[in-house]
Amino acid sequence: MAAAAPLTVAVTGPTGEIGRAFVRALERSRDVGRVKALGRRQIDPASEGWKKTEYLRGDVLDRDAVEQVVEGADVVVHLAFAIMGAPGENGREVNLTGSRNVFGAAVRAGARRLVYTSSVAAYGFHDDNPPLLTEDVHPRGTDAHAYSKAKAAVERLLSEMTVGTHTSTYVFRPCIVAGPDALMFIGSIPYVQLGDKMPAAVWRLLDAVPVLKPVIPDNGISFQLVHHDDVAAALRAATLGRGRPGIYNLAAHGTLTMRDLADDLGWYAIPVPELAVDVAAEMATRLPFIPEDAQWLNALRVPMLMDVSKAERELRWRPRYGVRETLRATIAEARLSQMLR
């Protein structure tokens, strides 16, 4: 029996924290012969060590560029997204119109598989979420959280645009993606900058005590991390057609709290009442002058823990990195990059 021809894979967003790890995984795969990548940054594939990858600088809002990168692809992997729910119309356009452009081009090109990376945020930050989120839970999003709302909307769009076609779809919902290529985790809301919204009384207390290290507020909510290389491994499995098409949660084994984060940073953690987080999140929802990235405060109001047994069973996916190992690798790289002083 003749061996299958190597795949041609089109990738949008190849220079993000997941994108770089994923392209590296494709470069190592014998089943992939060609990678066509579309990204907004100016990079040289050779300097990245990419030998199979042809890089086109462009934007998913440019339909001609999208059609060019998708043409001839067996598999299309859509990673491009405005991570923080970027303020202004352009962020919404990238997330919704850009995704529509990619999905439409993939279907018209007759791609065998379309792989989309969504997020745990697609479930929405709701008080009535189950203690452990499975893929059967409907992705409702949260209207007050731009990123969450957009992720749920794009999942609906993907379903609508591929129903009745010959293109099978895989949707991945990773938790917070961390690792050396994902340094934005360290400085992002809600994990460190929640301190900007701490009650004034708490800050006055801290001001009265000699504090030599930064402080992270801790309301006791647990969260998950996943290493970008482990996300890339799951994406590669879908690209190669492993398992059944469908939706898959991704998270490393174990959970963390803010206190764990503070311990590994060598910082202090101070308990913050749950009410204080609720009030700050409500402010972020209602006040028009609050920056849009402050909406991440909503993520601290309820636990967002996922069951990943489906990915382990269907895709034979096993995360190589535990949650604490992932956190420490991120911190170590951040310190090398002088993000943490």
The confidence score (pLDDT) of residue 164 equals 94
The confidence score (pLDDT) of residue 87 equals 46
Compute the distance between CA of residue 59 and CA of residue 66 in angstroms, rounded to an integer. 8
Backbone angles phi, psi at 137, to 5 degrees: -75, 130
β-strand partners of 115: 77, 170
pTM: 0.86
Q: Evaluate whether 157 touches 96 at the Cβ level (below 8 Å).
A: yes
Compute the distance between CA of residue 114 and CA of residue 111 in angstroms, rounded to an integer. 7
Compute the distance between CA of residue 166 and CA of residue 110 in angstroms, rounded to an integer. 7
Q: How many CB atoms lie within 10 A of CB 288?
A: 4
- Take residue 127 and report the two structure tokens written for it: 């008080």
Backbone angles phi, psi at 315, to 5 degrees: -100, -5
Q: Evaluate whether 140 touches 126 at the Cβ level (below 8 Å).
A: yes
Q: Which residue has the tokens 């953690």?
A: 269
Angle, CA 83 vertex, CA 77 and CA 89 arms, to 5°? 105
- The DSSP code sequence of 280-325 is HHHHHHH-TTS-GGGGGGGGGSS---B--HHHHHHS----SS-HHH
Compute the distance between CA of residue 222 and CA of residue 219 in angstroms, rounded to an integer. 9
Report the chain (341 residues): mean pLDDT per 10 consecutive residues: 82 94 97 97 91 96 97 97 57 87 98 97 93 96 87 96 96 94 54 40 48 69 93 98 97 92 83 56 44 52 90 97 94 73 48
Query: Side-chain half-sphere of 323: how many Cα atoms within 13 Å?
Result: 18
Query: 7-182+224-253+304-322: which CATH number, 3.40.50.720, 3.40.50.2300, 3.30.360.10, 3.50.50.60?
Result: 3.40.50.720
β-strand partners of 160: none
Q: Which residue has the tokens 């991440």?
A: 296
As annotated, the residues of the chain forming the CATH 3.40.50.720 domain(s) are: 7-182+224-253+304-322
Q: Evaluate whether 296 touches 192 at the Cβ level (below 8 Å).
A: no
Cα torsion 332, 19, 226, 333 to 10°: value is 0
Residue type, 36: K
| DSSP three-state, residue 169 | strand
Q: Provide CB contacts within 8 A for 312, sequence distance 6+.
A: 318
Burial grade of 31 (CB within 10 A; 0-12, 13-18, 19 or more): middle
The confidence score (pLDDT) of residue 144 equals 78
